[in-house]
Each structure stands twice: as C-alpha cells, then as structure tokens.
Amino acid sequence: MPAHDIAHVEMYTRDKAATADYFVSAMGFTRVADCVEVDRSSVLLRQGDLHLVVTSGPGVWKFLDRHGDGIATIALTCDDVAATHDAAVAAGARSVGTPNGSPVVTGFGDVTHPLLPVTARSAPYLPPGRRWTAAPEASARPEGPIRLLDHVAVCVEGGSLDRHADFYQDAFGFTRFSSEYVAVGGQAMDSLVVRSASERVIFTLVAPDPAKEPGQLDAFLQRNAGEGVQHLAFLVDDIIPAVRACRDRGVEFLSTPDTYYEMLADRLTGLNEEIAGLRDAQVLADSDEWGYLLQLFTRSPYERNTLFFELIQRQGSRGFGSANIRALYEAVERDRLTAS
C-alpha cells in the first residue's frame, strides 16, 4: 500500500493574507503556524484532519505567472518513501529533488507530490523541513465543520484519463473505482475516480471529450494554462448548517434551479421530508447502493476562475453524486455563460 494519506495540500497565491483570511473567516479554518523562508512565506491552516498550507513570495512566482492562484503540491504519506519515489519515476514521474528534506515527484500538470513517511502524519502535524512558528490562536479557535479532505478533483487534457489512472496505479498503488460520462448539449465530459488502497487518497479525474464542442473544462485548461486541481471536496457531518454558516461569512455557492428539486422528489423518495431544507440551502442530493450524499459547490474566489471548493456530507454513500455531475456541469456552465 504505497500511498496512505494526504499529509497536506499546498496552495500558491499572490496574496497570502487575503487567501488565508478566506479560509479562516469564511470557511472556519484555524491558523496553526507560520513559516518565513528566503524566497517565500507560508501559513499552515487546519480544520479537522485537513492541513492546508498557503504560500506566497518570489519563489512561487513562476507557478503563479503560469497558472494563477491554485494548488501546487499534494503531499502523500507512504509505506516506503524511497521505493515509492522509484516506482513513481519508473511510472513516468520526474524527480524534482528534496527541497524540504523529502523527495518530491511530479504528478499532473505542474502539481507535485512530496513523499513523506507514514510517521510524519502523527499529530500535531507540521509539514517537515520548514521552520514553523506556532500561531497564538492555534489552540483558542473552536473547531469548524470540516472533518477531512474527501477527494481532489483534477482536470486533465481530453483523452488522457487512462494514462493518468495508469500512472497513479503504477506509482502509488491506486485502483480505478468508478467512471462517468456526461453529455450536455454539444459538450461532454469524462471522469474516472482513482483511489489508494487505504481509500483515504481519492482523485476524481475529469476531462473534456475532444470529439465534442469546447466547454467549461476546456475553458479551465485554458485559464489554468494546463492540467491542475479543479476543486477540493471538504467532508462535513451536517451540510445544511455548514452551507448557511459559510454563506453568511461571504462564501458564494453555485445556484441550483427549482426544477432540480421538483425532479429530486421523484428521484429520491426517501428524502421527501428533507427536500424543503435542501431547496432552501440549494444543496444537491444523490444516492447509490450504499446510501446517500449531499453536496454543494462554491464559485471560484480567484481571479482566473479556476480553483473552487465543495462541501459534501456522506450518509453511507461511497460514490461522487453521479446524478449531480450533470447538475454541477450545468451550474458551472450557466455561471460561465453569465460571466462571459
């Protein structure tokens, strides 16, 4: 089982203060520690079991010039760091040295994977190889609604899903879990979910169908100057109050038409009593053979309109809202056309 967990996710941004404030003030994260280096400075944020590093400075300008604000690294814990590094390189990754004392390999686009031993993930967690200074509010702030990082959605080039899935299988021991094809008008998207044997590292790979008309995923690839993280999905225990709290603090969510909830009553008869609350909060619902899930997606708060976020509540469901993939695609498409 080469890859166990996501130790932390690191975002590069031009405005560290504003970006960190969005996560703290609007989404309930806690500022844990700060780090100042020669060419960059970082803040470590935590909520539940999720650790997010926000970094800015001259050392990350090359990434920012190309992609804008976005996820640059996804650190993975491994059984055997050296063996996983070698397997990743053999699978086609490029080794990019040990910038913080741990080996780093390329993943998709310009996103890299620092490789850490499983023991590095023990609490209290601080990304290794940096001089962190504890933030005074680290222990005083109440816990927010987010429990952990449910999955990472990755937008890749059309026709490349199998290649990326094979890479993560050979490099990190991932397996294919599910796939989905959605056609909306003349556009279409393909998706493939891969996950670690521990089921704690899950990537939802999405790609445009190159045989169809250009759509929102093509637009993402253009704005992002290539492949990258499309959204991070945050697992919560009770999504409706979490959505309301985030909305009250300034988070903008994609809108859901009333017709969605009219059809939902027929599609999910077991949720009839909850539909009014879901409609009021604009939350999407879906079910699979294991149970049901509730989810809602934010608008991107960033200038290039690339990275956005998802809140998701699982009641037994192990899937990714197959019926909602179309609803999400249509909602993003409406938002894109309105903004253009």
Q: Which carries the bigger pLDDT value, residue 63 or residue 279?
A: 63
What does the pLDDT average to over 9-31? 96
Q: What residues contact residue 309 under an 8 Å CB cut-off, 6+ apart? A: 27, 231, 232, 233, 234, 297, 298
φ, ψ at 135 (rounded to 5°): -85, 140
Largest separation between any pair of C-alpha atoms in the chain: 59
H-run or E-run covering 183: strand 175-184
Q: What pLDDT, on the 0 to 100 scale, is given for residue 173?
A: 95
Helices (H), the chain: 16-21, 61-67, 81-90, 161-172, 216-223, 239-248, 258-267, 275-281, 322-339
What does the pLDDT average to over 116-130? 90
Reading the block at residue 198, the tokens are 């521990």
φ, ψ at 177 (rounded to 5°): -110, -50
Q: Is the pLDDT of residue 171 over 80?
A: yes
What's this model's pTM, rounded to 2 decimal places?
Answer: 0.93
Residue in the structure block whose two tokens are 């996501």: 6
Q: What pLDDT, on the 0 to 100 scale, is given for residue 337?
A: 67
Reading the block at residue 254, the tokens are 């994609």
Q: What pLDDT, on the 0 to 100 scale, is given for residue 288?
A: 80
Looking at residue 197, its amino acid is A
What does the pLDDT average to over 237-256? 95
- Name the pairing type of β-strands 228-236 and 30-36: unpaired
d(CA 299, CA 32): 26
d(CA 63, CA 106): 14
CA 130 to chain centre: 24
Q: Is the pLDDT of residue 338 over 70?
A: no
Radius of gyration for the alpha carbons in the chain, expressed in angstroms and rounded: 19
Q: Which of 65-69, 127-131, 143-147, 193-197 has the lowest mean pLDDT?
A: 143-147
d(CA 315, CA 317): 6
Q: Which carries the bigger pLDDT value, residue 16 or residue 286?
A: 16
Q: Is the pLDDT of residue 167 over 80?
A: yes
Reading the block at residue 41, the tokens are 């400075």
Q: Is the pLDDT of residue 321 over 80?
A: no
Looking at residue 269, its amino acid is T
Q: What pLDDT, on the 0 to 100 scale, is given for residue 29?
A: 95
Q: Is the pLDDT of residue 53 over 80?
A: yes
What does the pLDDT average to over 191-203? 95
On average, the pLDDT of the chain sits at 91
Residue 114, strand partner residues:
104
Cα dihedral 152→153→154→159 (10° resolution): 140
CA 185 to chain centre: 27
Q: Which of 157-161, 178-182, 331-335 has the lowest mean pLDDT?
A: 331-335
Looking at residue 41, its amino acid is S
Return the sign of the alpha-carbon dihedral for residues 187, 301, 310, 255: negative
d(CA 282, CA 109): 33
Q: Is the pLDDT of residue 334 over 70?
A: no
H-run or E-run covering 78: strand 70-78
pLDDT-derived band at 328 (thresholds 50, 70, 90) equals low
Q: What pLDDT, on the 0 to 100 scale, is given for residue 68?
A: 98
Q: What pLDDT, on the 0 to 100 scale, is given for residue 327?
A: 65
Q: Which carries the bigger pLDDT value, residue 228 or residue 142?
A: 228
Q: What pLDDT, on the 0 to 100 scale, is given for residue 124?
A: 85
Q: Is the pLDDT of residue 335 over 80?
A: no
Q: What is the pLDDT of residues 267-305, one digit of tens each?
A: 777 676 688 899 899 999 888 888 889 999 999 999 999
